[in-house]
Amino acid sequence: MASVLVFVAPGFEEIETATIIDVLRRCGLKVVTAGIAEGAIMGSHGIKFLLDTNISECSVGDFSAVVCPGGSPGYQNLRKNAKVLAMVKEAFLAGKVVAAICAGPAVLADAGILRNKNCTIYPGMEDELKKAGANPKSDFVVEDGTIITSQGPATALLFSLKIAERLADKKTVELVKENTLAK
């Protein structure tokens, strides 16, 4: 079974994070939530998440994908964390799926993996991608190689299903699409 590491930082976007976890688990994937802080972490809208582990306990080699949710100041807390940046780069260099939504693609930019890549980000933040040498697109979800990016809370379901399409069996993903009215 494929496994996914979801980074969670104080100020994360709750809709995106919950959707990623829920959809990927519905698709039969093992999802591990890892915080950059100990204990429960507060989202940007006052909802606390109790996480599975801390990133200090994780190794990229144990996962098929890594995911950066957005939210502010969540994405800023992720991009300031040297271990998160190193793990994102390691996952990319190992050919694993690296995904980010909302302002999360700024973390991928800081990790140095977006040069000449097509990607998207929360509207109005395209300069974050351009500074990294990326090619910003206005699509809700953009795939380029093993990188998957998306624009924000309203695109979280599409984004999560796109990750699932890469990691889960097709029949299961189609059933989840049907059951969530995403088909």
- Which residues, in sequence order, are CB contacts of 165 under 8 Å at separation 6+? 173
The secondary structure of 49-107 as a DSSP string is E--SEEGGG--GGG-SEEEE---TTHHHHHHT-HHHHHHHHHHHHTT-EEEEETTTHHH
b/e sequence 86-117, b meaning 16+ C-beta within 10 Å: ebbbbbbeeebbbbbbbbbbbbbbbbebbeeb
Quick check: 110 and 118 in contact, CB under 8 A? no
Catalytic annotation present for 102: yes
**CB burial readout 119-156, b (16+ within 10 A) else e:** bbbbeebbebbeebebbbbeebbbbeebbbbbbbbebb
Among the listed residues 27, 58, 68, 102, the single catalytic one is: 102
Known catalytic residues are: 102
